[in-house]
A and B are shown apart, each in its own frame.
Chain A
C-alpha cells in the first residue's frame, strides 16, 4: 500500500531563515497532497495543499512543490517567524487508497 516518508524529523532555524520539509510517496497514482500544521496542544490544521496536475502552489510565506517523476513533494517556509514553530505533517491520497496517508511529522523550531 501507500507509504509516505517525511524528513527531517526535527528542524531548527533562525528567525528569518527558510525551512524546507520533504516527503516522498510510493503510490504513483497519488493525486492529492495536503500539509497540516499542529501547534503545541492544538489540533492539526490544513495550511496548504496541492494536486497532481500542479507543480507548485504558494500562499504568502509558504509554498509547496511537487515532483511527480521523483514522487516527492516539499513544503517551503520563507522568512520564518517564531509562530511558525509547530509540528508539520505531510499526507498523500489517491483513488487507490481513498484515505490520507500521513508522514511521521517534522518538529520545526524557529529561534528568535
Chain B
C-alpha cells in the first residue's frame, strides 16, 4: 500500500511566522503535489514536483514556496504566515503524471 505521511495533523502559528509542512511518501513516486482544501472551493493546487529539485507552480502559489531535496520528501513553506492561509493542507503523490494520486492525512493549519 502507498503510504503518504505529513509531519503534523494540527498546527497553530502566529502571523508572520515561517511555517514548514513536510510530506513523505514511501512508494518511490516521481510526482508530488501540495493542495489547499477550503469549504466550497474543493482542492486547489499550490505547487507540484515531477522530480527532485524540480518544482512547478500550481493555481495558487502566491505566499508559498516548496522544496524537494529528496525524491520521497516534498516540503511546503509559508515564508510569512498570514491569517488567510488558515486552511487544510493536503499532500499527494503519484507514480505517473496525470494518474491516480494518493493523499496524506492532511495538516489543519490555524494562523492567529
User: Which residues of A line the B interface, CB within 8 A?
Assistant: 6, 9, 32, 34, 36, 42-46, 49, 89, 93-95, 97-100, 102-105
Q: How far is the CA of A97 from the CA of B98 in the complex (A)?
A: 7
Which among B33, B42, B48, B102 has the highest number of chain A CB atoms within 10 Å?
A: B42
B42: which of A32, A94, A103 is its contact (CB, 8 Å)?
Answer: A103
Q: Do B97 and A98 have beta carbons less than 8 Å apart?
A: yes
Q: Do B33 and A34 have beta carbons less than 8 Å apart?
A: no
- The verdict on B100 contacting chain A, using a C-beta distance below 8 Å, is yes
Q: Do B98 and A49 have beta carbons less than 8 Å apart?
A: no
CB-defined contacts of A34 to chain B, threshold 8 Å: 100
Q: Do A43 and B90 have beta carbons less than 8 Å apart?
A: yes
Q: Do B43 and A99 have beta carbons less than 8 Å apart?
A: no
**B residues 63-104 touching A (CB-CB < 8 Å):** 90, 97-104
State whether A44 and B103 are in contact (beta carbons under 8 Å apart), knowing that A32-B98, A99-B97 are contacts in the complex. yes
A45: which of B43, B99, B103 is its contact (CB, 8 Å)?
Answer: B103
Within the complex, what minimum Cβ distance (angstroms) separates A45 from chain B?
7
**Interface contact tally, CB-CB below 8 A:** 44
CB-defined contacts of B97 to chain A, threshold 8 Å: 98-99
User: Which residues of B line the A interface, CB within 8 A?
Assistant: 4, 33, 40-43, 45, 48, 90, 97-106
Q: How far is the CA of A46 from the CA of B1 in the complex (A)?
A: 13
Q: Do A44 and B99 have beta carbons less than 8 Å apart?
A: no
Within the complex, what minimum Cβ distance (angstroms) separates B103 from chain A?
4
Q: How far is the CA of A36 from the CA of B101 in the complex (A)?
A: 10
Q: Do B90 and A44 have beta carbons less than 8 Å apart?
A: yes
17 A-B pairs with CB atoms under 8 Å apart are: A32-B99, A34-B100, A43-B4, A43-B103, A45-B103, A89-B42, A89-B43, A93-B99, A97-B98, A99-B33, A99-B48, A99-B98, A100-B98, A102-B42, A103-B42, A104-B40, A105-B43
Q: Do A94 and B98 have beta carbons less than 8 Å apart?
A: yes
CB-defined contacts of B33 to chain A, threshold 8 Å: 99
CB-defined contacts of A98 to chain B, threshold 8 Å: 97-98
